[in-house]
Every structure is written in C-alpha cells, then in structure tokens.
Amino acid sequence: MSNLWERMKQVMKEDWERVQQKKEEVPFSEARPEQANLTSAEKQLREQKERVRMLRKKEDELDVQLAERTYEYQLAEEAEESDMMRYLERETEALRSQADKTKRVREEAEEQLKELDLLFQEMRHRQADQELELMELETKEKAADIRQQMKTWNRREETPVQEEPDMSSTAHMEERLRLLKQKKKEESASHTID
C-alpha cells in the first residue's frame, strides 16, 4: 500500500513539474488569449476616458476664454473703441463656436464611453465564465487521469511479484522484532485473563 502512495506521489510530482515547465515556456498572452484581449480592451478604455477628460478640460478653458473676451468686449464698448469691438466680436464668436463644438463632441464621447464601459463589463463577465468552464473541464480531465492511474496501480498491487525478503536488511529485522513483541504481548494478555 505504501508503494502505491509513493508511486502516486511521484507521478503527481512529475505532472506538476511538467505543468510548471509548460507555463514557463508559453507567454501569458499566448496561454490565455482572452486575458490579453481583456487587458488590451481595458487599456483602450482608459485611453478613451482620458480623451473625454481632455475634452472636458478644453471645454472649461474655452468657457473661461469666452467669459474673458465678453468682459473685454464690454470694456471696449464703454470706451467706444469700434475697431476693438469688431475684433472682440469675431474672437467671441469663434470661441463660442469652438466651445459649442467641443461640448457636442464631449457629450457624444461620454455616451460612447458609457456604452463601451458596459461592453467591457460584459466582456469581463464572459471571460470569468470561460475561465470557470476551463477550470471545470481541467479538473474533470485531471480527475479522470488520476482515476485511471489509480486503477492501473491497483491492478499492479493485486498481482504483486513475490520477492525474497533480504533477511539481513534492517527493515526486515525491525519488522520481525515488532512481530515478536506483539506476539509476546498477546501471550501475556491471554495468561492474565486465564
């Protein structure tokens, strides 16, 4: 029986070493392409969020510039500077147009970002499901392999090859001593009962 456990332990150790060696040979992105896809999508989503943030910042800057030009227009109007008023009018109109366009682009980008975020969440859940299914399949396959190996070992154990014990080995001598002590205890126990 101990031989069975020793063999099983050795086979499992060899299998584990093989698995570890394969993991080292195959880059992570090739071993799990879904994970590489997810990582890539996550990176692109972060980049898109950064673009939206930059659009918000640009929109805020344009609003500040527009407020400043409006104030300057009022000053020019009070000073009755008609040339400056025409210039500031064109500037204000251009800034207003840029601010409106930036706002429209930002709003569209935010809507797209919401949609992309939902798709990314679905992608993560789908990958988690796939990993779970893969783990389940690997577990079942490994259990079937172990079951088959154990059946093979059990068949070998049922028909052991009889070897002549080495009478001089320490293990053999210890076993004989143990049996002798056990026999002596049994004899003394039976004499006390009588």
Q: Is residue 86 part of a domain?
A: yes
The secondary element (H helix, E strand) that includes residue 185 is helix 170-193
Residue 157 domain-assigned (yes or no): no
Confirm if 149 and 8 have CB atoms less than 8 A apart.
Answer: yes
Looking at residue 22, its pLDDT comes to 66
Q: In which domain, by residue range, is 108 found?
A: 31-127
Q: What would the mean pLDDT of 16-27 be, rounded to a whole number?
A: 64
Answer whether residue 83 is part of any domain.
yes
Q: Round to whole Å and give the CA distance between 81 and 75.
A: 9
* Under 8 Å between Cβ of 94 and 66: no
**157-193: per-residue pLDDT in tens?**
665 555 555 556 777 778 888 888 888 888 877 766 5
Q: Is residue 187 one of the residues assigned to a domain?
A: no
pLDDT digits (tens, 9 = 90+) for 53-97: 999 999 999 999 999 999 999 999 999 999 999 999 999 999 999
125 within 8 A of 38, measured Cβ to Cβ? no
Is 91 a domain residue? yes
Task: Give the pLDDT of residue 94.
Answer: 95
Residue 110 pLDDT > 60? yes
Mean pLDDT score, 35-41: 85
CA 42 – CA 121 distance, rounded (Å): 10
In a domain? residue 58: yes
Task: Please give the average per-residue pLDDT across 129-147, as a whole number.
Answer: 91
Total tally of structural domains belonging to the chain: 1
pLDDT at 40 over 70: yes
Kind and range of the H or E run holding 41: helix 33-78
pTM over 0.75: no
Domain-embedded: residue 89: yes
- pLDDT, the chain, mean: 83
pLDDT value at residue 28: 44
**Is 67 a member of any domain?**
yes
Left (φ > 0), alpha (ψ -120 to 50) or beta: where does 80 sit? left
